[in-house]
A and B are shown apart, each in its own frame.
Chain A
Amino acid sequence: MISNLQKDMKGRRVLIIEDDVRISMLMQESLAEMGCEVAGTAMLFDDALELATSRQFDVALLDISLNGELSYPVAEAMLERSQKFVFVTGHVMETLPAPFQGTPVLYKPFGMNDLRKSLRMALFER
């Protein structure tokens, strides 16, 4: 039996922008389990900006801090292209700048359900 949730996520192409490779790997596995495709991965700011503006994807997971560098410009680039994304953060609380308010935030460490919920919010509730 395939649940509605799985049906929603099946085949979705997800871009992973995360500077910690172990977390990136965990995301890749979890996404595969949900039936998603990984559209690409980036760890560094420049690669992230490049992928965000060139790759085809349905939704992105975007770590707010990439090796200490804020990824907001990447988020702006995605907003301009009307791309959907989820912020990922290791902070306890995240205060988002005005243009990004309302964007779903995935707090580390996260479980499979948190990941799925945040992606659904980005895809269907905005």
Chain B
Amino acid sequence: MAQLIRHKDWSKTALGTVEQWPQPLRTALAICLDSKFPTYMWWGPELIEFYNDACIPILRAKHPDALGKSARQAWSDVWPEIGPLAERVMATGEGVFAENLEMIPERDNTLASAYFTFCYSPLRDAMGNVAGVFVTALETTEMILSEAALRESETRLQRIMDSARDYAIVSFDAEGRITSWNVGAERLLGFSEREAVGKPGSIFFTPEDRAAGVLEQEMARARDKGRAADERWHMRKDGTRFWGSGLMLPMVGHKRDRYLKIFRDNTELRRAQERQALLTQELTHRVKNTLAIVQSIAMQTLRQSASMEEARDALELRLVALARAHDMLVAGNWSGGALREVVAKALGPYGDNGDSARIRCDGPDVRINARAVVGLSLALHELATNAAKYGALSNQTGQVDVRWEISGGADRRFCHRWKESGGPAVEPPRRRGFGTRSIEEGLAQEIQGEIELDFAPEGLSCTIRAPLQEIADSG
């Protein structure tokens, strides 16, 4: 710049040739040109412009024409912003400092906001009067824009964190202390951000997990494996628990260990899974139980049948009776069934639904438990089959009378009576078959009751007595 200034023809300017310049101007110019900091000088009432090498990148297309021009012309595009500052210095002789002043300079034919930090100082002539302005200027556009971008990205990130209302997003330092806490964490755990940040992360773990060092194990697993599943009961500020479901992750871009934990309340799903497991277990138990009954029926039927044909028929009918008992249990959600329905289903294949003249059923409405439904269904099936083969239902005139009642006060008892009449003369069986055993042993124990089977010649009768509480459906 020094050379450029020296070779410029100044004779046409208000300053005159270099030799005519006053000493204060020369001194100030020397300081300006020696500086490595972008520095300008505007001299005289015309504000004739000088600048140093450091200014050239800032001036861009304005260089070198700006040299020797009035600053008012050279900076006409931004004079509305910087002009008042310069004029003030000229008028008052007081320095001005302006930080990150926004302006829109013309650069490469485009207009965009630029920011500058200025220091305007007065230059004085030999008499001490203000003769010009000494300007140091630093463009801060990049810094300002990157700060704005950073602020925007932080705001955006915060908004994302805050919008994840159903997810607790928590970060930890290497010691497991909480370093950030989003709105979701506040909602889920009850601690405010202020309460949580800085506290040990274990504050929302259960006392058992705290004692077992579960948080530390999670952090170690996240560090070693890249992630650690978090599926466990967590504790809210008020001490209530919920099933947390999520992940612990090591945070990227940190020299020291930092961890991020993202999780949500999955209590509903957990409870559903527990219910499901319980149901499956219960179902397995019931299926096994049923298979055992089937096995027992099948083995005894096969053992006691005279022929394959007899075995097949008897087995089929018994399994159908068992299946009907099951249908009732399924319909009643396995809690039990109505005794009237048990009787009607057992007699269904033989009478006309129990209300015909030959089969009479009478008794109060009573719901019996699952065990009694199975036991009575099988027992009544055996009685009905026997009646149809040898008893009152084997001729055209016999009758079956089925009655049940509940007697007694506090210690209530159940009594169920099956009585046949009008059939062929009854002969006691030659051996105790499946039916007899199923009733006398099976049913008796299933309902903790007493069974009286009477093979009287005028008709078979079977009396079943049991404490009501043993057979009643308590569910």
Contacts and interface: CB of A to CB of B under 8 A. Distances in A.
Interface of A: 20-26, 29-30, 43, 90, 92, 108-109
Contacts of B292: 20, 22-23, 26, 90, 108-109
Nearest to B295: A109
A73 to B, nearest CB: 22
B289 A90 contact: yes
Contacts, number: 42
Nearest to A107: B288
Contacts of A29: 299-300, 303
Interface string B283-316: 0110011011101110110010000000000000
Interface of chain A: mostly helix, strand, loop or mixed: helix
B246 interface: no
B296 A23 contact: yes
A22 B292 CA distance: 7
B178 to A, nearest CB: 40
Contacts of B446: 21
A24 B289 CA distance: 12
Contact of B293 (A22, A43, A90): A22
Contacts of A30: 299
Contacts of A26: 292, 295-296, 299-300
Interface residues of B, number: 18
A30 B441 CA distance: 16
Interface in B136-167: none
Contacts of B289: 20, 90
30 contacts: A20-B289, A20-B292, A21-B445, A21-B446, A22-B292, A22-B293, A22-B297, A23-B292, A23-B296, A24-B445, A25-B296, A25-B300, A25-B442, A26-B295, A26-B296, A26-B300, A29-B303, A43-B445, A90-B284, A90-B285, A90-B288, A90-B289, A90-B292, A92-B284, A108-B288, A108-B291, A108-B292, A109-B288, A109-B292, A109-B295
Name which of B285, B295, B296, B446 has the most chain A CB atoms within 10 A of its CB: B296
A91 to B, nearest CB: 8
B348 to A, nearest CB: 23
Contacts of B445: 21, 24, 43
A58 to B, nearest CB: 23
A122 to B, nearest CB: 21
A21 B441 contact: yes
A21 B442 contact: yes
A46 B437 CA distance: 25
Given A22-B292, A24-B445, A92-B284, 18 more contacts: A20-B289, A20-B292, A21-B441, A22-B297, A23-B292, A23-B296, A25-B296, A25-B300, A26-B299, A26-B300, A29-B303, A90-B285, A90-B288, A90-B292, A108-B288, A108-B291, A108-B292, A109-B288
